[in-house]
Copies of this chain bind each other. A is one copy, B any other.
């Protein structure tokens, strides 16, 4: 092992306590991008990231304002002839509700057992700090062997509405050889993972309107189509008995899985038992004819994310509600396109919604699915890095979540992303009691050190 590699790993091991403290500071900022009242926290989080990057000796550190939340940029270009890696991350987090289910405050980071609990610990402030600390270890033990650019945005959890315009306006500034995107995790603590395909997203709010105001269900029950019932009927019709989505044309552009890829996915340890344990559901569900790993990674889905109508307090109220609302989103796979899916969603409603209600769709956000080359220099450097730390070859998997920026960078900058982070499936991301498994995270920092040094070798 090279001297620098040894020194950098040693530095990281000696600094675990400061590393954890730094992450806790970052997690204390409630940078919820969707809530207007957290606007000042978003500014604080962006400034915090910029200060860290300056502290590492990065240059041209800049906070670029956008229509919503700023993008933090920085670079270091001192490794002549070496490749340039664009490190992507986001400093925003999901909302924390329902608050009453958190054991400790979502923005009061707390260690219990081997994990650190806080909103954003896994998704993805922990991953951003891992990259910062890996770079620090290398800088402190002889200097960077690769060129770096950083793009840390604040809108990932609301669908990155400003990112496409930012990339388009700053193509030259952020031009790189490939990207590192740690906004994805591992299959398990002993299963290093590289994600080669990501699902896209199309997110809608559907409102159904019936009577002009809430009605007495005794006086009017029997003459109006209850908007809550009508909404339930529309949602129910979105799946057939085999668990397939019924939006017209929904599967037209879905790439079928090759025999070879199905065989590869079958090797993943994410079997039925794994998903039963991870979810706690009484039984699994999904599209007929596909395995769980295929259904979560390589097949599109449709889920209700929220639903509200009428009286939902304690007790009973005999009312026919005037309206009903559902937030509904689809996970997409290559080559589906969120713009097409929006048309399919509207076409379904035009065909199926009865004339005795009115409906209205708001497009919330979308993201294109992606699939990448599994044999470029970046992926090879990461595969070797993961093997150095975990002592086994990584799994290659299709991930169910959406990282639209991967497809954007492919399309707009012509670069591939190495998608590898150190969250785990039971981290409760987007849910109460989000956590980060600290032993896996410390290993992740070492893996990033190997990755950057591998690239410079």
Contact = CB atoms under 8 A, between A and B. Distances in A.
Interface in A274-312: 275, 278-287, 292, 295-296, 299, 301-312
Interface centre among A159, A238, A315 (most CB of B within 10 A): A315
Interface centre among A212, A279, A286, A326 (most CB of B within 10 A): A279
Given A235-B236, A311-B327, A356 B430 contact: no
Contacts of A433: 213
Interface string A321-356: 100111101010000000000000000000000111
Contacts of A325: 312
Interface stretch (A80-88, A224-232, A409-417): A224-232
A373 interface: no
B282 A220 contact: no
A285 B224 contact: yes
Contacts of A219: 296, 399-401, 425, 429
B305 A223 contact: no
Interface in A64-105: 94-95, 97-98, 101
Interface stretch (A51-59, A146-154, A357-365, A448-456): A357-365
A210 interface: yes
A313 interface: yes
A217 interface: yes
Contacts of A256: none
Given A216-B401, A222-B286, A315-B364, A308 B308 contact: yes
A367 to B, nearest CB: 10
A31 to B, nearest CB: 14
A383 interface: no
A30 interface: no
A318 interface: yes
Given A217-B331, A219-B425, A306 B310 contact: yes
A189 interface: no
Contact of A236 (B232, B309, B320): B232
A402 interface: yes
A312 B331 contact: no
Contacts of A324: 304, 307
Contact of A305 (B101, B158, B310): B310
A317 B310 contact: no
A254 interface: no
B306 A309 contact: yes
B235 A239 contact: no
Interface string A380-406: 000000000000000000011110000
Contacts of A282: 210, 355-358
